[in-house]
Amino acid sequence: MKLVVKKLQGGECCVEALPSTLISEIKRDIYNKLRIPVQEQKLLFLGRTLADEQTVQSYPLIKDGTKLNLVVKKPDGFYETCVKVYKKSGMSDAEAKKTAARLLKVVEEKFNKLSWDDIERLSADCLAYESGQRRPAPVEQETDSDDLFTL
């Protein structure tokens, strides 16, 4: 069956699904078509959230041509992610928040000390990583002693 996925902020796509297709599989198809990370997707049908571990047939009102609404959840920021990781490692809420705030301050201080060249290289590396590419390692060139004195 064909399902129409309508993004609330605009845009839509069609996905093919069988009754046995998991909602999580539909989300992967949406990622492939709209490039919205799965963890940021929330699929709704008739105002209710569809559960990732459920199949299409778990929702009897979903038929060929059904429109599903897609809400894009805002990803957690650096601070929020750090707090979650620290809490999972056993810290109390207060300890996790304090440690995350300290880490955020250290990162900001370190970043502020970078040169523009360093920031440009870091940005290029981040973009390459996100697109699945690796920037080639810089090749160090040996200088001839004669080259040092020529103009």
Collect all residues with Cβ–Cβ distance below 8 Å to 78 and sequence separation of at least 6.
104, 107
Q: Please indicate, yes or no, if residue 66 is contained in any of the structural domains.
A: yes
Phi, psi torsion values for 70, nearest 5 degrees: -115, 120
- Spell 127-143 as b/e; 16+ CB within 10 A means b: eeeeeeeeeeeeeeeee
- 64 and 18 assigned to the same domain: yes
Number of compact structural domains in the chain: 2
- Residue 144: what pLDDT? 55
- Beta bridge partners of residue 6, listed in sequence order: 12, 69
Q: Please indicate, yes or no, if residue 25 is contained in any of the structural domains.
A: yes
- Residue 151: what pLDDT? 45
pLDDT in tens, the chain (151 residues): 999 999 988 888 999 999 999 999 999 999 999 989 999 999 999 999 999 999 999 999 999 999 999 999 888 899 999 999 999 999 999 999 999 999 999 999 999 999 999 999 999 988 888 777 766 666 565 555 555 544 4
Print the domain residue range for 97: 78-130
- 25 and 56 assigned to the same domain: yes
- 9 and 56 assigned to the same domain: yes
- 61 and 22 assigned to the same domain: yes
- 92 and 41 assigned to the same domain: no
Q: Please indicate, yes or no, if residue 144 is contained in any of the structural domains.
A: no
- 66 and 7 assigned to the same domain: yes
- Beta bridge partners of residue 43, listed in sequence order: 70
- 111 and 89 assigned to the same domain: yes
- Residue 31: what pLDDT? 94
- Residue 147: what pLDDT? 53
The half-sphere exposure of 68 on its side-chain side, counting CA atoms within 13 A, is: 30
Q: Please indicate, yes or no, if residue 87 is contained in any of the structural domains.
A: yes
- 27 and 50 assigned to the same domain: yes
Supply the pTM of this predicted model: 0.57
Collect all residues with Cβ–Cβ distance below 8 Å to 97 and sequence separation of at least 6.
83
